Chains A and B, each alone.
Chain A
């Protein structure tokens, strides 16, 4: 069926996409895996925002979390371990019109891909990043990851892991050009969704660390926080996440924090006794690398020809 451009636009306008329009296949994650909660929140976001499936790309590396794109009925790029960021950057640079998401795990992002993570923050390209942090390598069957708390018993650390865990929030907040840092947990779906949405709406590199349970390899690791809601600190602000009355009844440890205040953000992020949940930092003024780099000039044949001839002239003998 051939339609005129105007007609096509009208057709698009009429089209209402449902959750199923973003769903693809049956996730093969374990029952109780936090990845499922993230998938639900993201599919809801796509539907609510009416994202065009063909204009949306989910990019991932390798690991349990990186299976994510396969379960989205959008374009997806399931690449290689640790390299989701540079792939996503290439996509965004080539096609600023596409909506780009990145799904990465604590091994993918904070270990093998750590160099790319630091630089991705600095490039500040407009994309939304979900760090699925379950503090363990899952797909390779239980090895300590950089975010595993010290003492974590795993197949490579049977007597307990040796090093203090790396804190993705403080690391991120230390990088120049950082523009959006938030933290969510898989067991509070309401805030998870609010944060995912805020991240999507931020123009720039929106980095959301999502602390999630791994029922298979570390089933009890997060119990102290699950069982004691006071150890979860809700970070709220008029310009950040707002807390619903229902949520406020359960999670009484609340702190008001202006997401523009990076020093306070670092302070909140540094507290490892508590899990802060909310938007720690948001600065919409940081320029996006793709905007800085694109000249805005249309690459016409004539333009390329002229410039080519001018270059060749320089070397004429």
Chain B
């Protein structure tokens, strides 16, 4: 961030009530900024933030938006835990993650703001635009608490600007609660020097389904906010854009997954509502069904899994979408699909666990359960998209793998990908993405339903409707004719075949790419949504001359080839994950007792390499700054 005299002047305004006419219209050029808009639930901060992100993307800026979601639908108004909103990282270049702390926050009340302060989410000296209606509220308790928080913020050296949002909005609408968000959007368009016309277009798109009068009313508020800011706010920022020149779309990870489902040619999605996975199904229910796809909301998670298995068994590969607790419930069904060799795609949008855990928060806690879950040996393919774009292509790949190898493919997304939004190159539809029509041709004489290939373990499945292919699939141990096996050798053969399929897939995978130098002092290995933050930290350290590199695994089972060779070229190897690992500093934790993180456990066991790990489970996306500190410490150790 570039600091100029003008920003320092703006800083000096700290605490000055904004009613005063702005006198300093200096514009500061920045490389990036993180903006946050927070309110009580239902006041529209989410929509304001998403719109701001889309406008920035239209301007050609790099963008990463992160939802700030309270756990309850309607938490009490003005509560510390009730912050609802959006956090937008706007950059000159492509932005790969949510970044560090916030530079500028707009708060509709002081209590939700307090929640963010307590969570240490604001940068020191952060600019705060605070709704000031509470200062003159009829309830003396509110007036008192507003005053206290305001003073506390000033004392903490935040640059606080009180904004008469309610008062200004009431000039244009009778219900300021419904329109404040667009007023704020106007203010932000001014502050960031965004084209007001782009704002108008975004409103037209956002409210596209509503009547013209709704769009017009919102545009009036947008313009009012812009005008007010121009007249009253004495600073503004310019974040030069570097447009890619390519057509882009901006969506969150769940929409990306859902678009992937459409593009993969799958026909049926069976699900049960669970946070944070459900929005993918919401989107599918709307869009997928227009093209004859079906979203079945089952009576429970087990039924959703069994329904998808039945649909897959009789036709094209189907999918089920869930999150941790639902994934646990599906385990027996997944074992059945593995045993009967029925293709199935399972999406697990991970959240904090165990048990109900943190439904709206970020964690990568389900890797080992995805790989080893279900009783007995149930080999499944486990993929981990690491970007929002990846979420889209992962589903298409997963469908193909599931049908090629007749097995279960688990896609591990997480609450960070599901609730973040990022522009990426518009996918170019390809017919080859679609599932082929199901085989209904007669089965050749003598062909057997589980004619396992001795090398790859793959057998061609017979689909109901194929004459001559009649057989009963079973979760019991079975022979090549799908007859229940009573012979000990047959069980041995079946387990071998199902395991070999993973090896066969493994032989088709490419080694992971290394970010940074091919060799050095420290290699960081990650998986899933942490990719952008890890690479940002690695790039920063490399710029300082540190010999740090990273690699990110997209397949967790089977693992890509060449991982051991990559690790060998570095003096130290560690993983960065958002799941649990014991802290070496704890009194009882030593080499004998330490529980490593999921990926570190796996890498240590598979490659006999002393892989260390650093993890945190704060339910937040891990910040590049935090990773940087961890890596520096590891380098020095």
Q: Is A31 engaged at the interface, CB distance under 8 Å to the other chain? A: no
Q: Is A255 engaged at the interface, CB distance under 8 Å to the other chain? A: no
- Flag the segment in B69-77, B162-170, B310-318, B450-458 that touches A: B310-318
Q: How many residues of B contact A (CB 8 A)?
A: 69
Q: Is B336 engaged at the interface, CB distance under 8 Å to the other chain? A: yes
Q: Is B298 engaged at the interface, CB distance under 8 Å to the other chain? A: yes
In chain A, positions 236-258 with a C-beta closer than 8 Å to chain B are none
Contacts of B296 on A, CB cut-off 8 Å? 89-90, 93, 293
Contacts of B309 on A, CB cut-off 8 Å? 79, 87, 90
In chain A, positions 38-79 with a C-beta closer than 8 Å to chain B are 53-55, 57-59, 69-70, 72-79
Classify chain A: how many residues form its interface, as a range. 35 or more
With A98-B314, A315-B255 known as contacts, the answer to whether A79 contacts B306 (CB < 8 A) is yes
In the assembly, what is the distance between CA of A171 and CA of B318, in Å?
32
Contacts of A311 on B, CB cut-off 8 Å? 259, 262, 287
Q: Which of B267, B292, B472 contacts A70 (CB 8 A)?
A: B472
Least CB distance from A91 to B in Å reads 4
Q: Which of A24, A90, A294, A305 contacts B310 (CB 8 A)?
A: A90
In the assembly, what is the distance between CA of A311 and CA of B261, in Å?
13
- Flag the segment in B112-120, B222-230, B422-430, B588-596 that touches A: B422-430
- Cross-chain contact A93 with B265 (CB below 8 angstroms): no
- Cross-chain contact B468 with A54 (CB below 8 angstroms): yes
Contacts of A87 on B, CB cut-off 8 Å? 306-307, 309-310, 313
Least CB distance from A71 to B in Å reads 9
Q: Which of B259, B314, B340, B467 contacts A94 (CB 8 A)?
A: B314
- Flag the segment in A179-187, A198-206, A262-270, A295-303 that touches B: A295-303
In the assembly, what is the distance between CA of A208 and CA of B259, in Å?
42
Q: Which of B289, B333, B465 contacts A80 (CB 8 A)?
A: B333
Contacts of A285 on B, CB cut-off 8 Å? none
- Cross-chain contact A57 with B464 (CB below 8 angstroms): yes
- Cross-chain contact A304 with B291 (CB below 8 angstroms): yes
In the assembly, what is the distance between CA of A72 and CA of B172, in Å?
74
Nearest CB in chain B to that of A67: its residue: B484
In the assembly, what is the distance between CA of A53 and CA of B468, in Å?
9
In chain B, positions 215-274 with a C-beta closer than 8 Å to chain A are 247-251, 255, 259, 262-263, 265, 267-268, 270
Q: Is B303 engaged at the interface, CB distance under 8 Å to the other chain? A: yes
Contacts of B302 on A, CB cut-off 8 Å? 83, 86
Contacts of B57 on A, CB cut-off 8 Å? 317
Task: Name the residue in B259, B310, B471 with the highest tally of chain A Cβ atoms < 10 Å from its Cβ.
Answer: B310
Q: Which of B247, B291, B298 contacts A303 (CB 8 A)?
A: B291
- Cross-chain contact A309 with B310 (CB below 8 angstroms): no
Q: Is B136 engaged at the interface, CB distance under 8 Å to the other chain? A: no
Q: Which of B249, B464, B470, B475 contacts A312 (CB 8 A)?
A: B249
Q: Is A97 engaged at the interface, CB distance under 8 Å to the other chain? A: yes
- Cross-chain contact B472 with A77 (CB below 8 angstroms): yes
Contacts of A317 on B, CB cut-off 8 Å? 54, 57-58, 248-250, 423
- Cross-chain contact B314 with A90 (CB below 8 angstroms): yes
Contacts of A119 on B, CB cut-off 8 Å? 298-299, 303
Contacts of B291 on A, CB cut-off 8 Å? 297, 299, 303-304, 307-308
- Cross-chain contact A89 with B58 (CB below 8 angstroms): no
Contacts of B292 on A, CB cut-off 8 Å? 294-295, 297-299, 303
Q: Which of A74, A80, A115, A312 contacts B299 (CB 8 A)?
A: A115
Q: Is A116 engaged at the interface, CB distance under 8 Å to the other chain? A: yes
Nearest CB in chain A to that of B295: its residue: A293
In the assembly, what is the distance between CA of A70 and CA of B299, in Å?
28
Task: Name the residue in B250, B292, B302, B464 with the highest tally of chain A Cβ atoms < 10 Å from its Cβ.
Answer: B464
- Cross-chain contact A316 with B247 (CB below 8 angstroms): yes
Nearest CB in chain B to that of A62: its residue: B475
Least CB distance from A202 to B in Å reads 21
Least CB distance from A189 to B in Å reads 25
Least CB distance from A229 to B in Å reads 37
Q: Which of B299, B318, B434 contacts A116 (CB 8 A)?
A: B299
In the assembly, what is the distance between CA of A205 and CA of B302, in Å?
21
- Cross-chain contact B248 with A312 (CB below 8 angstroms): no
- Cross-chain contact A91 with B464 (CB below 8 angstroms): yes
Contacts of B248 on A, CB cut-off 8 Å? 316-317
In the assembly, what is the distance between CA of A293 and CA of B248, in Å?
34
Q: Is B171 engaged at the interface, CB distance under 8 Å to the other chain? A: no
With A77-B313, A78-B475 known as contacts, the answer to whether A94 contacts B333 (CB < 8 A) is no
Q: Is A220 engaged at the interface, CB distance under 8 Å to the other chain? A: no
Q: Which of A69, A70, A90 contacts B308 (CB 8 A)?
A: A90
Task: Name the residue in A59, A72, A316, A317 with the highest tally of chain B Cβ atoms < 10 Å from its Cβ.
Answer: A317
Q: Is B145 engaged at the interface, CB distance under 8 Å to the other chain? A: no
In the assembly, what is the distance between CA of A98 and CA of B466, in Å?
11
Q: Is A110 engaged at the interface, CB distance under 8 Å to the other chain? A: no
Least CB distance from A226 to B in Å reads 32
Q: Is B359 engaged at the interface, CB distance under 8 Å to the other chain? A: no
In the assembly, what is the distance between CA of A88 and CA of B474, in Å?
14
- Cross-chain contact A78 with B472 (CB below 8 angstroms): yes
Q: Is B490 engaged at the interface, CB distance under 8 Å to the other chain? A: no
In the assembly, what is the distance between CA of A75 and CA of B315, in Å?
13
Least CB distance from A289 to B in Å reads 9
Contacts of A25 on B, CB cut-off 8 Å? 483
- Cross-chain contact A86 with B314 (CB below 8 angstroms): no
In the assembly, what is the distance between CA of A232 and CA of B426, in Å?
69
Q: Is B493 engaged at the interface, CB distance under 8 Å to the other chain? A: no
In the assembly, what is the distance between CA of A316 and CA of B247, in Å?
7
Contacts of A75 on B, CB cut-off 8 Å? 464, 469-472
In the assembly, what is the distance between CA of A48 and CA of B291, in Å?
39
In the assembly, what is the distance between CA of A293 and CA of B296, in Å?
9
In the assembly, what is the distance between CA of A315 and CA of B255, in Å?
10
In the assembly, what is the distance between CA of A70 and CA of B263, in Å?
37
In the assembly, what is the distance between CA of A53 and CA of B442, in Å?
12
- Cross-chain contact B262 with A315 (CB below 8 angstroms): no
Contacts of B567 on A, CB cut-off 8 Å? none
Q: Is A141 engaged at the interface, CB distance under 8 Å to the other chain? A: no
- Cross-chain contact A76 with B426 (CB below 8 angstroms): no
Nearest CB in chain B to that of A90: its residue: B310
Nearest CB in chain A to that of B258: its residue: A311
- Cross-chain contact B310 with A77 (CB below 8 angstroms): yes
Q: Which of B313, B426, B470, B484 contacts A90 (CB 8 A)?
A: B313
Nearest CB in chain A to that of B426: its residue: A312
Contacts of B300 on A, CB cut-off 8 Å? 115
Contacts of A79 on B, CB cut-off 8 Å? 306, 309, 336, 475
- Cross-chain contact B474 with A78 (CB below 8 angstroms): yes
Nearest CB in chain B to that of A73: its residue: B470
Least CB distance from B296 to A in Å reads 7
Contacts of A57 on B, CB cut-off 8 Å? 314, 464
Contacts of A309 on B, CB cut-off 8 Å? 429
Contacts of B263 on A, CB cut-off 8 Å? 304, 308
9 further contact pairs, Cβ within 8 A, besides A83-B303, A298-B292, A312-B427 = A54-B464, A75-B471, A78-B475, A87-B313, A90-B268, A90-B307, A94-B310, A94-B312, A299-B292
**16 residue pairs A–B, Cβ–Cβ below 8 Å:** A54-B464, A70-B474, A76-B470, A77-B313, A80-B306, A87-B310, A90-B312, A90-B314, A94-B314, A94-B316, A293-B296, A294-B292, A297-B292, A299-B291, A303-B291, A305-B431
Residues of chain B at the chain A interface (Cβ within 8 Å): 54, 57-58, 205, 247-251, 255, 259, 262-263, 265, 267-268, 270, 287, 289-294, 296, 298-300, 302-316, 318, 332-333, 336, 340, 423, 426-427, 429, 431, 434, 464-476, 483-484
**Top 5 closest pairs, chain A to chain B, by CB:** A90-B310, A76-B472, A86-B306, A90-B311, A94-B315
Residues of chain A at the chain B interface (Cβ within 8 Å): 24-25, 53-55, 57-59, 69-70, 72-80, 83, 85-95, 97-98, 115-116, 118-119, 293-295, 297-299, 301, 303-305, 307-309, 311-312, 314-317
